[in-house]
Amino acid sequence: MRNVVKTDNTKTDKVITKKAAPDYEEIYQGRFDKHYDELKWLYMELYDNSSMFEELCDRLKLFYDQRGDALKRQDDAREAQPDWYKQNDMLGMMFYIDNFAGNMKGVEQHLDYIEKCNVNYIHLMPFLDTTEGKSDGGYAVSDFRKVQEKLGTMEDLEKLTAACHKKGINVCMDFVMNHTSEDHQWAKRARAGEKEYMDRYFFYDSFDIPSIYEQTVPQVFPTTAPGNFTWLPDAGRFVMTTFYPYQWDLNYRNPRVFNEMMYNFLYLANRGIDIIRIDAVPYIWKELRTSCRNLPQVHTIVRLMRMIGEIVCPGILLLGEVVMEPEKVVPYFGTVEKPECHMLYNVTTMATTWHTVATRDVRLLKKQLDIVSGLPKEYVFLNYLRCHDDIGWGLDYGTLWQYGMGERPHKEYLNNYFQGYAGNSNSRGELYNSDPVTGDARFCATTASMCGIEKAETEEDPEALQRAIRFDVMLHAYMFMQSGIPVLYSGDEIGQTNDYSYKDDPNKAADSRYIHRGKMDWKAAAAADDPSTVAGGVFQSLDQLEKIRKSEKAFVSYAATWTIETWDQSVLGIGRYYQGEKIIGLFNFSEHDKTAWINETDGLYEDMLTGKKREARGVDIPAYSFYYLKKV
């Protein structure tokens, strides 16, 4: 549509063309009509409740009308470029708001630092209202529409997301779908015996049915929170609690639960959130005599959620938290025709990376990277060296057995290694959820402490310190070469080590995961420009790598990737290719100097860190070092 305005001029007429305002009613109707048939079919298949479906449709329009114009314009731009998040400029950082900057206003004040880190995607760890001492790190939500008072308000959140958008920074948050806190209003009313609210959870008068569930449902925390049900003496009933006793599982067989949780999802999206991380998504549908994991109805719900987002707020992304190996998480992407999650975590590769660190053996890692490389390029993984959680040893033990590594003794070796007790280790950290009966345990530490920076600083060993920094940087360089989007944990960019002060807090002392959730060391961050410091040494090296990644199109998520045989079990080779550009990464996981026995015969390559030209054959790599080589 063109509006033409003519103005008189003594010499000529000027024609001014005004761009018509978007017809948001027409845009919404088009999106709604596109998805209506499938939306209704899946909803009715799941619930067979037309009145609840009609209510959902009415509320979708209401949330769309409430969505701000700036967010609607962003939606339009992202619809026009649907692969906007697959580019080589995407770099994430995750942090707890209070540890990073006190509160949301503090985060806003530190956006310049986030920009300096080359980060354009921040994951704000759980910030919705919860109960102190019964929060599981914020994953026990008592109000989905209220921010924890110590962190700010919903208005502060909207101001923060708006400020981020002005700087081109995307904001991610956790949406805890599987359960609520026992202090949520629904739970309180259920506890008081109101049937409508009891039906939103799983309540049982006796242990008869729970006992049947327990026969097939695995335990998430067998040592700290055994079983999947909790007895409520005041209510005289059992309630399903897959995670901790204060986290009550929601009953998604009830359409009221689904509808209300979708309204919460849209409310939060309208606050300016760009990426919704669906927490514990495989758990959300429960069926008797099953594992209550990854059931078909889960995919129906996620597909419904994807369509609801595309109708109301198509600029947002769904990030699924699915803790399984890459080939098994693939169903959570859906299909090209009927997509579910936009992105998934590459959890297994993260765990296998640390196995590789402890064994100096890249064979399993190479196998898993080959699996990821063979998946459709539409699938986007988030890659990381560590996150807010522990590192669990969910490795491919069938393959490891072929290498002479039995499951139980290998888990024991890994836990001993990273505590610094075995394998000539320089790592420091602590076990989490250790089970002396099964021998299972998980591990917690910062990247820097696992690479030996903490030990070297404690022992005042400058040579060991430089080696540890080099190791830390090499691992980040390797992460940047993986297929997908790299995500840093706040503090890793300055080599921050373990924080043992959590032991002094009675609400945290029993949870060793807080060892790597320490407060941001802003004093160290102030030295990020000084390469003679640990912070500066790590920061400046990562800065160089991040800028290389953003400037080279071969780092886009949909580039071709493959592993390269180096003929040395300690050296990993990765290739990337896109539109005529080829890059090779070589990574030495050993404390000894090694040679990558590659033999690329297609001409000269440029060392991307030094600019020097060389052949890509028989590459000598110092201990814990790497090369980025670009075909000239």
Mean pLDDT of the region 65-93? 96
Model confidence band, residue 515 (pLDDT cutoffs 50, 70, 90): very high
Dihedral pair phi/psi, residue 262, rounded to 5°: -70, -35
Q: Per-residue confidence at 416, pLDDT binned at 50, 70, 90?
A: very high
Q: Which of 129, 183, 321, 568 does the annotation list as catalytic?
A: 321
Instruction: Provide mean pLDDT across the span 181-203.
Output: 98
User: For residues 541 and 473, is the Cβ–Cβ distance under 8 A?
Assistant: yes
Instruction: Classify burial at 112, counting beta carbons within 10 Å of its beta carbon; exposed 0-12, middle 13-18, buried 19 or more.
Output: exposed
Tell me if residue 166 falls in helix, strand or coil.
helix
98 has catalytic annotation:
no
In terms of Cβ atoms closer than 10 Å to its own Cβ (0-12, 13-18, 19+), residue 285 is: buried
Q: In b/e form, how buried is each residue of 407-439, taking b as 16+ CB within 10 angstroms?
A: eeebbbbbbbbbbbeebebbbbbbbbbbeeeee
Place of tokens 């390029």: 377
Of 290, 289, 291, 309, nearest in space to 301 by CA: 309
pLDDT recorded at residue 19: 61
pLDDT at residue 536 above 80? yes
377 Cβ contact partners less than 8 Å away, ≥ 6 residues apart? 557, 558, 559
Q: What is the mean pLDDT of the chain?
A: 94
Domains in the chain (CATH in brackets) are 185-249 (3.90.400.10), 555-631 (2.60.40.1180)
Q: What is the per-residue pLDDT for 15?
A: 46
pLDDT of residue 2: 33
Q: Residue 12 above 70 pLDDT?
A: no
> How many other β-carbons are positioned within 10 Å of the β-carbon of residue 346?
27
pLDDT at position 434: 87
Give the model confidence (pLDDT) of 345-361 as tens digits: 988 999 999 999 999 99
Asked if 212 contacts 254 with a C-beta cutoff of 8 angstroms, the reply is no
Three-state DSSP string of 449-460 = HHHCHHHHHHCC
Tell me if residue 25 is catalytic. no
319-325: average pLDDT: 85
Q: How confident is the model at residue 8 (pLDDT cuts 50, 70, 90)?
A: very low
Distances (CA, A) of 164 to 66, 94, 111, 112, 167: 20, 14, 7, 10, 5
Rg, C-alpha atoms of the chain: 26
pLDDT of residue 327: 67
| pLDDT value for 20 | 67
Residue 598: predicted pLDDT? 98
Task: List CB contacts of 230: < 8 A, sequence separation 6 or more.
Answer: 238, 239, 241, 245
**Euclidean distance between the first and the last CA atom of the chain, given in angstroms as a whole number:** 49
H helix or E strand, kind and range, residue 586: strand 581-588
Question: pLDDT grade, residue 507 (50/70/90)?
Answer: confident
Mode of pairing for the β-strands spanning 170-176 and 121-124: parallel
Q: Is 317 exposed, middle or buried (0-12, 13-18, 19+ CB in 10 A)?
A: buried
How confident is the model over 500-512, as a mean pLDDT?
A: 92
- Per-residue pLDDT of 542-598, as tens digits, reads 999 999 999 999 999 999 999 999 999 999 999 999 999 999 999 999 999 999 999
Residues 546, 543: Cα–Cα separation, whole Å:
5
pLDDT digits (tens, 9 = 90+) for 214-267: 999 999 888 889 999 999 999 999 999 999 999 999 999 999 999 999 999 999
10 Å Cβ neighbour count for 497? 27
Checking DSSP bridges between strand 442-444 and strand 14-19, what pairing results, if any? unpaired
Q: 34, 69, 42, 271: which is closest to 156 by C-alpha?
A: 271
The per-residue pLDDT for range 357-382, each reduced to its tens digit, is: 999 999 999 999 999 999 888 899 99
> Which candidate, 406, 382, 378, 360, places its Cα nearest to that of 572?
360
Q: Helices in 167-220 by DSSP H: which ranges? A: 185-191, 195-198, 208-216
d(CA 613, CA 630): 9
Distance CA 98, CA 126 (A): 11
Q: Structure tokens of 9?
A: 């001029």
Q: What is the pLDDT of residue 525?
A: 97
Catalytic residue, from 279, 454, 457, 493: name it: 279
Q: Provide the token pair at 524.
A: 């160290």
Give me the percent of the chain exceeding a pLDDT of 90.
Answer: 89
CA distances from 141 to 244, 495, 562 (A): 13, 32, 42
Query: What pLDDT is recorded for position 474?
Result: 98
Mean pLDDT in residue range 150-155 = 98
- Say what the pTM is: 0.93
How much is the pLDDT for 42? 98
Overall size of the chain counted in residues: 632
In this structure, of 58-62, 135-139, 154-158, 311-315, the range with the lowest mean pLDDT score is 135-139
Edge to edge, the sheet with strand 203-204 lists 203-204, 237-240, 229-232
Positive/negative CA dihedral, 510, 515, 517, 523: positive
Question: Residue 84's pLDDT is what?
Answer: 95
